[in-house]
Chains A and B, each alone.
Chain A
Amino acid sequence: DVKVTQSSRYLVKRTGEKVFLECVQDMDHENMFWYRQDPGLGLRLIYFSYDVKMKEKGDIPEGYSVSREKKERFSLILESASTNQTSMYLCASSLSLSGQFSYEQYFGPGTRLTVT
């Protein structure tokens, strides 16, 4: 069974704080993703990574950065948290098949971040 874990289920931070959200997967997946989920807006991609130290911007990267120093770990960083970053953050991972499309994304349980 693929297991994707996230460092916290609930997190409360103050405006201006630096926030780290961590995601770990145990299935040797090449691809990892960070989404935020807001009511009525679905899943919006923040950043993704297809290999160690590789990253690409998603649809809403502003105010976020990421780090992938090891294959199993993908971190999302809020350099200076703001109230509009209050949201549910979901991490996901997927396999890359050589020459084929990487298919199923496995999601973590999510981190509910509140910025006050």
Chain B
Amino acid sequence: GENVEQHPSTLSVQEGDSAVIKCTYSDSASNYFPWYKQELGKRPQLIIDIRSNVGEKKDQRIAVTLNKTAKHFSLHITETQPEDSAVYFCAAGNSGGSNYKLTFGKGTLLTVNP
């Protein structure tokens, strides 16, 4: 089955700095890569996703890049703000076979210090 590794497990940055979280996956059939944000005490929510036919996607201060050859994808947050503090999860899924299942990474606790 799919295995998703996520690094780092914790990340602390100063407000205004950039933050990068990296994930690798094992199943070359995976073609969908979402990122979820979970604020303290709240439910995870999708913030951005990318499909395998795209190398990069951007939405305001957040961007995701995908390298299918190397089987890794990354989340980039620029100009970080205190409200970006949360746990971020990457995930991988594929549209063949069990096409309704995601495999999640273990999460990254991002702390943005004012």
Contact = CB atoms under 8 A, between A and B. Distances in A.
State which size class the interface on B falls in: 20 to 34
B105 A42 contact: yes
Interface in A32-64: 33, 35, 40-45, 48, 50, 56, 58-59
A42 B99 contact: no
Nearest to A51: B100
Contacts of A44: 104
Interface in A91-110: 94, 96, 100-105, 107-110
A42 B93 contact: no
A100 B99 CA distance: 8
Given A41-B106, A42-B106, A103 B32 contact: yes
B94 interface: yes
Interface in B1-40: 1, 6, 9, 31-32, 34
A101 B43 contact: no
A25 to B, nearest CB: 13
Interface residues of A, number: 28
B43 A90 contact: yes
Nearest to B42: A109
Given A42-B89, A42-B104, A45-B101, A105 B46 contact: yes
Interface string B68-106: 000000000000000000000100011100111111111
Contacts of A105: 46, 102
19 contacts: A31-B100, A40-B9, A40-B106, A40-B107, A42-B6, A42-B106, A43-B44, A43-B89, A43-B104, A48-B101, A56-B101, A59-B103, A101-B99, A103-B34, A103-B49, A104-B49, A105-B46, A109-B43, A110-B43
